Chain A
Amino acid sequence: MTVIELQRASKSEQGQGGAGDVPQIRSKNLNLFYGDFQALHDISLDVPKNQVTALIGPSGCGKSTFLRTLNRMNDLISGVSITGEVLIGGQNIYDKTVDVVELRKKIGMVFQKPNPFPMSIYDNIAYGPRAHGLKKKSRIMEIVERSLRQAALWDEVKDRLHSSAMGLSGGQQQRLCIARVLAVEPEIVLMDEPTSALDPLATLKVEELVTELKKMYTIVIVTHNMQQAARISDRTAFFLNGKIVEADETAKIFTNPKHKQTNDYISGRFG
C-alpha cells in the first residue's frame, strides 16, 4: 500500500480530533536511542494538515532528531533504535511493511545547509521526477517550471536553467532545494532549520514561501529562531532534553505558556 492509499483508508476510520481535522502526522510515545543514549523520550505530538508546525528548543534538545524520524532519515545512522509509533495518515511508518523509498516521496525534506547537487538548476529539479521514472522531456520541463515558480525562484533563474546550481547565492540555493522537494509532489515538507545559513533578506523570502506553501502542504519546521516560529507557524512544540515540554497553538505558546520552562526559553532566559 502506498502512503496515499493508507491515508484514504485512514480518513474514514478516524473520527476524532476536535476540529474535525484529522492530524496528518501523529507520533505516539516515540522513544529514540543512539546506542545506549536516549535522545527522545516519549514524544507524542499531532501535526495538523495544511498548517505550519514549528519545533523549537535549545541545541541538542532533540527537535532535529524528531524531525528526522518523520521521514526515517535516522535509518541512515547505525545504532539508532526506535520504539513507539509515528502515524502518517493512520499508518505507522515504522511498520515492517512500509516502503521507505515510497514514504520519502511523500515526505520531502529541506536541510539546514542548502545542498544543491553539483549539476545544473534544471537537473537538480528534474532529479527526483527522473529517478521516479519520468522520461518525457516536455513533462519534466513543466515540473521544473512549476516547482521553481512555487519556490518563488523562477524569475531569478529562468534564463540560466542549464548553468550550475552551485553558482546560485545561498538563499537561492535553499529555495532551489525547496523547489526540488516540491517537484516530487510530496504531501508533507519537513524543514530542518532552513534559514540558519541564510542572511536576513534570504530568510525573509524563505519565510514568505513557507507561509505560501502551507496552502498545499503540511509543513514541519525546526527553528532556532523564536521570532521565526512566532511569525510563520500555526502551532509550536517546545522541546527540552529530548522531551516535549509543551505543544500548542503558537499564539498561546508565545503569549501565555503553561510551563515555566517554556516561558523562560521564549523570553530568552536560556538556550
Chain B
Amino acid sequence: MNRILEEKIVKIFLFAAAFTAVFSVLLIGIFVFMEGLPIFFKYGLTDILFGSVWNPTNQVYGIWPMIVGTIYVTFVAVLIGAPMGIGVAIYLVEIANERISKTIIPAVELLAGIPSVVYGLFGMFAVRGVIASLSRGPLGDVLPSNYQSGYSILAAAIILAIMILPTIINISIDALRAVPREYKEGSLALGTSHWQSIYKLLLPAAKSGIITAVILGVGRALGETMAVIMVIGNTPAVPALDWTGLFAPARSMTANIALEMGYAGPEHQQALFATGIVLFVFIIVLNSITQLLVRRRREGGAK
C-alpha cells in the first residue's frame, strides 16, 4: 500500500516538473506575442519587418537592419565554426589516441563553460584589435570610414564561431560514434584508406546527426547576446551585403532588445517585443527542422 502511494507521489511530482517546462515555454510565447503584436497592427507588418530605419525617438521601428545583422553574423559564424567543429569531432573519434582526446575533450567542455561576457572581453580586445588594424591598414582605402573601427560583423562571427564549437563538436562526436563499427570494418576490409572510409562512409552515415549539430549551433549563435553586444558595434543600420559588410558595425536582434529595454517608453517597448517575436519565430523554425531530422534519423535507423 505504502509503495503504491510512493509511486503515485513520484509520478505526480515528475508530471508537475514536465508540465512546468511546457507551461513556461507557452507562457513566455504568449507573453512576448501579446506585448509585441500590437505594434505590427499599428504600423503594418511590412513596415516593421522590412523597414530599414530604426529610430525609436521618432517612432520609426524598422527591424530589418537587426534581422539582416543577425542572419549575416550567424551565417559567417557557422561558416567558420561548423567545419572546424566537425573537423575536431572527426579527429577525436577517428584519429586521436586516448591520451590526446583526454586532453582535448575537457578543454572543449571548458570552452562551453566560459561566461559569454568573458568571450566578449576577449573579442573586444584581441579579435577586434586585429580586425581594426586590418581594416584601417591594408583595407583602409577600400572600406568606408565607419567600417574601420574593428567593431564588426566579422569580430562577432569569430567570437560566435568559438562559442558554438562545443555544441557542434559534442553532438557531432555522438553522431559519429553512433555509426556502427561494422561499417568502418567493412570499409577498411575492402582495402580503402582510413580517410576514404571517413569521407565516403562515416560522414554520410552520420549526416543527419551532424546537420543537427550545426543547426543547434545556429540556434546558439542566434540567441547569444552579451558577447555580440561587446564586439558588433551595435549600429542599427543594414550592413553592406558584399564582403565589405564583414567589417560593418551592425546590431543583432538580441542586442537590440538588451540594449534598449532599460530606457524604452511604452511603444518602444512594444517594438522591442516585436523584435523578440521575430527571434522566437526563427528559433521555432530551427527547432522544427531539428525535430524533423531527428525523427527521420530514428525512422532510418529502424529500417
A residues within 8 Å of B by Cβ?
71, 73, 76, 78, 101-106, 108-109, 111, 113, 115, 117-119, 127-128, 130-132, 164, 166-167, 177, 180-181, 184
Residues of A within 8 A of B187 (CB): 117, 127, 131
Known: A101-B193, A117-B201. A164 touches B303 (CB 8 A): yes
Known: A131-B196, A131-B200, A167-B303. A111 touches B191 (CB 8 A): no
Chain A contacts for B182, CB-based, 8 A: 111, 113, 115
Q: Which residues of A contact B204 (CB under 8 A)?
A: 118-119
B190:A180 contact, CB within 8 angstroms: yes
CB-CB under 8 A from B205, the residues of chain A are 117-118
Q: How far is the CB of A180 from chain B (nearest CB, A)?
A: 7
CB distance from B169 to the nearest CB of A (A): 22
Q: Please measure, in the bound complex, the distance between the C-alpha atom of A45 and the C-alpha atom of B185, giving whole angstroms.
A: 25
- Name the distance in Å between A93's Cβ and chain B's nearest Cβ: 13
* Nearest 10 CB-CB pairings of A with B: A105-B191, A115-B182, A109-B189, A104-B191, A128-B190, A131-B192, A115-B186, A131-B196, A166-B303, A101-B193
**B102, chain A: closest CB distance, angstroms:** 14
Q: Which residue of A lies closest to B180 (CB)?
A: A115
Q: Is the CB of A184 within 8 A of B180?
A: no
For A105, list chain B residues within 8 Å (CB): 190-191
Q: How far is the CA of A174 from the CA of B125 in the complex (A)?
A: 60
Residues of B contacting A101 in the complex (Cβ-Cβ under 8 angstroms): 191-193
Q: How far is the CA of A128 from the CA of B183 in the complex (A)?
A: 13
In the assembled complex, the Cα of A135 lies from the Cα of B233 at a distance in Å of: 51
Whole-angstrom distance from the CB of B153 to the nearest CB of chain A? Answer: 39
Alpha-carbon separation in the docked complex, A19 to B88 (Å): 56
A118 to B178 Cα, complex, angstroms:
13
**Distance of A27 Cα from B196 Cα, bound (Å):** 30
Set of chain B residues within 8 Å of A106, measured between Cβ atoms: 191
B257 to chain A, nearest CB (A): 44
Given contacts A117-B205, A127-B200, contact A132 B183 (CB under 8 A): no
Q: B107 within 8 Å of A by Cβ?
A: no
Inside 8 A of A166's CB, which chain B residues have their CB? 303
A108 adjacent to B200 (CB under 8 Å) = no
A-B pairs with beta carbons under 8 Å apart, 27 shown: A73-B189, A76-B185, A78-B97, A78-B98, A104-B188, A104-B190, A105-B190, A108-B189, A111-B182, A111-B186, A111-B189, A115-B183, A117-B186, A117-B205, A119-B204, A127-B190, A130-B200, A131-B187, A131-B193, A132-B191, A132-B192, A164-B303, A177-B186, A180-B186, A181-B189, A181-B190, A184-B190
In whole angstroms, how far apart are the Cα atoms of A149 and B214 in the complex? 42
Q: Which residues of A contact B97 (CB under 8 A)?
A: 78
When C-beta atoms are compared, the residue in chain B nearest to A132 turns out to be: B191
Cα distance, A118 to B192, chains bound together (Å): 17
Within 8 A of A (CB), among B74-101: 97-98
Residue of A nearest to B201 (CB): A117
Query: Which residues of chain A are within 8 angstroms of B196 by Cβ–Cβ distance?
Result: 131
Q: How far is the CA of A131 from the CA of B204 in the complex (A)?
A: 15
Residues of B within 8 A of A111 (CB): 182, 185-186, 189
Partner of B185, one of A103, A115, A119, A181: A115
Which B residue's beta carbon lies closest to that of A166?
Answer: B303
Q: Please report the C-alpha to C-alpha distance between residue A78 and residue B98 in the assembled complex, in whole angstroms.
A: 10
Q: How far is the CA of A181 from the CA of B188 in the complex (A)?
A: 11
B193 contacts which chain A residues (CB < 8 A)?
101, 131
How many angstroms between the C-alpha atoms of A118 and B200 in the bound complex? Answer: 11
Residues of A within 8 A of B189 (CB): 71, 73, 104, 108-109, 111, 181
The winner among B188, B193, B200 for most chain A CB atoms within 10 A is: B188
Question: Smallest CB-CB separation from B182: which chain A residue?
Answer: A115
Q: Which residues of A contact B190 (CB under 8 A)?
A: 104-105, 108, 127-128, 131, 180-181, 184
With a cutoff of 8 Å between Cβ atoms, the chain B residues found around residue A108 in the complex are: 189-190
B210 to chain A, nearest CB (A): 14
